[in-house]
Each structure stands twice: as C-alpha cells, then as structure tokens.
Structure 1
Amino acid sequence: MATFQIKEKMFSLGGKFTITDQTGLPCYHVEGSLFPLPKTFKVFDEEEHLISQIEKKVLSFLPKFNVTLANGNHFTIKKDFSFLKSHYTIEDLDMEVKGNFWDMDFQLLKDNQVIANISQQWFRMTSTYQVEVYNETYNDLTISLVIAIDYVKELEKNASN
C-alpha cells in the first residue's frame, strides 16, 4: 500500500505543487500550464520522468479531460450533468469511481475491489488530499485522476464567485 498527500500551493502560477509520501518525502510533482487554453498538467516522478499528461478538452460543455500515462495507457474523465451532486464518468478504463466527488471522498474500484481511497482533508488553507493506493501498480493513474477532478472543483468554485 502507498499513501500520498497532495497539497496545492496557494499562490502558484499555473498550478505547481509537490506530492509527498506518508513520510513527507516528495515522490511526484505537478506542473500546470500557465495559460488556460488548453489547460494541461504534467506529472513527474522524483527522477523527473514524465508520468502522465492531463489535458482539458477546450470545446466541451461540461469539463472533460484526456489523461495519457507514460506506459501508453490513456483514459478520459468526463463530468456528467447532474443537479444534486457531482458525478464523473471514466471512459476507456476498466474501473469505476464511487463516492462523494463534491466532498472529494471517493474510491477507485476494479472488479468491485477497492484500488484506492481518496479523501480531502478539511480545515486547511489549500486543497489537501489523502490518497491511499492499495495496489501500487495504480499509483500513477490514481494521482492523475485526483488532479483532474480537483481542477474541475477549482473551476466550479471560481465560476460561483
């Protein structure tokens, strides 16, 4: 099992932040594009190898992201239309995500087995997430998923202000 903490920097141009392990050591870092069209995030490991690229589709009514992992796998995260609470569809991935996206408390499942738990830590100045991945082969995928969903939440928060 691997445990990560994702904590965004409050005043970061483009969205740069570090992801640490359970001991506080950096294990990933994220660099967001400075300009919003198209908004992209690149995730690197501690040795500066590209792990994934996350790109927001420009002409989409609801937020939609294409995620390409370094191993060549790719998937799409799409926010679905819903009045009561947030719901996301993960296309091209033999997994499902269940839980409360608005509160950022959800699970990643494969064949009804929990692969990862993601929960937001409240009472912090910035978005901070605790990510527990039970099968470490899904570390990169899970980190990329959380970054994309958090960006959608950030867009919604900015739109409501």
Structure 2
Amino acid sequence: MKLLFKQRFFSWFDSYDIYNEDGQVIYQVEGKLSWGHKLVIYDQNGNEVGTVLEKVITLLPKFEIYKNNEYIGCLSKELSFFTPHYNIDYNGWHIDGTLTEWNYTIVDESYVTVAIIRKEIFNFTDTYVIDVKNPENVLDALMFVLAIDAEKCTRNKQQNY
C-alpha cells in the first residue's frame, strides 16, 4: 500500500495530509503546542488514532509512540556518522537512511523490508511516498516517518542558531 505524506503549505504548527493511492485523504496530522514536537494523527472520520511525542531532554533524539492514546514504545536515533539509523523498541524494526536523508528503509528483525520511504524533492513542502508492504503496518510506518521528519526539523532549527 502506498501513501503520499504531504505537509500543508500554510500552518502554524506542523500539519500534514496523508493520501492513499487513489488520492483520498486517509489520515490528517496536526501539530500541537508542546515542549518538543507533538503530532496527533486522525483517521478520515476524525478519530485520534496515534500520537508522536518528542522527548526533549535526551542525548540522542527519541520519540514516544502512542496508538489510541496508549503508549506502545519509542523510536530512537542511533549514533552514526554518515547515514541515519533508528531503532524501534516495541516491534523489532530498524530504520536505515541514505546519506542525503531523503530515502529510508524500514526492516524487521529478520531484515525483511517492511516499508520504503522516499522524499519527493521538487515540492514546496515536505512530501514523502511511503510504500508499506503489509497494510496492517501503515499507521506504524506513518508515525515513524513523522518522527524522522520532526527530528530533521529540530536539527535544522538548532543549526540555524
């Protein structure tokens, strides 16, 4: 199942629309006022289905993941020098990025591909295509992409100071 993750052009906080292959919005993501990034995911009926919450006092970036308001685990960035790597502590997945940080692969504990993420570079806002092999993993993959995008945004802001 493919998703198109597209940041809204005008929004005070981070806001995204997530489209399916037919161009229908299946999730909406709203940034909320918080210490660090807080992204709340709503399904097409307006029900809250997930939250990505940045932990701000950590050595390396970490994001708590919630499904249906229940904490399920954490995504954390690993120390690496050339390409980004992330671990997810609740399902054994691992995320590897490329040197440009435009493309990522999510693999399971057996290194079987769960999802492939690629950033569309010729857009005014952050836009990603997420190709998830199993539709049951769509929400998890989406939350991990949101966390990675938030981590890059935080890093870019820190570099500008």
Same fold (TM over 0.5): yes
Shift of 1:79: 1.6
In structure 1, how many angstroms separate the alpha carbons of the residues matched to 2:100 and 2:151? 10
Shift of 1:73: 6.4
Where structure 1 has 5 or more consecutive residues not aligned to the other structure, the ranges are none
In structure 2, how many angstroms separate the alpha carbons of the residues matched to 1:61 and 1:4? 32
Query: When the two structures are superposed, what TM-score results if normalisation uses the length of structure 1?
Result: 0.89
Shift of 1:38: 4.2
Q: Which residue of 2 is the match for residue 158 of structure 1? A: 157
**Identical-residue share of aligned pairs (%):** 25
Shift of 1:78: 1.1
Shift of 1:45: 0.7
Shift of 1:153: 0.8
What are the within-5 Å matches in structure 2 for residues 119-158 of structure 1? 119-158=118-157
Query: When the two structures are superposed, what TM-score results if normalisation uses the length of structure 2?
Result: 0.89
What are the within-5 Å matches in structure 2 for residues 1-161 of structure 1? 2-35=1-34, 37-70=35-68, 72=70, 74-100=72-98, 102-110=100-108, 111-161=110-160
In structure 1, how many angstroms separate the alpha carbons of the residues matched to 2:83 and 2:115? 21
User: In 1, are the aligned partners of 2:82 and 2:99 still within 8 Å (CA)?
Assistant: no
Q: 80-89 vs 43-52, which deviates more?
A: 80-89
Shift of 1:17: 1.8
CA gap of 1:148–1:160, structure 2 versus 1, over 3 A, is same
SS of residue matched to 1:123:
coil
In structure 1, how many angstroms separate the alpha carbons of the residues matched to 2:37 and 2:156? 17
RMSD: 1.9
SS of residue matched to 2:87:
strand
In structure 2, how many angstroms separate the alpha carbons of the residues matched to 1:25 and 1:138? 19
Count of aligned residue pairs for this structure pair: 159
Where structure 2 has 5 or more consecutive residues not aligned to the other structure, the ranges are none
Q: 79-88 vs 10-19, which deviates more?
A: 79-88
Shift of 1:101: 6.9
SS of residue matched to 1:129:
strand
SS of residue matched to 1:140:
helix
Structure 1 segments of 4+ aligned residues over 4 angstroms from their partners: none
User: What amino acid maps onto 2:78 in structure 1?
Assistant: D
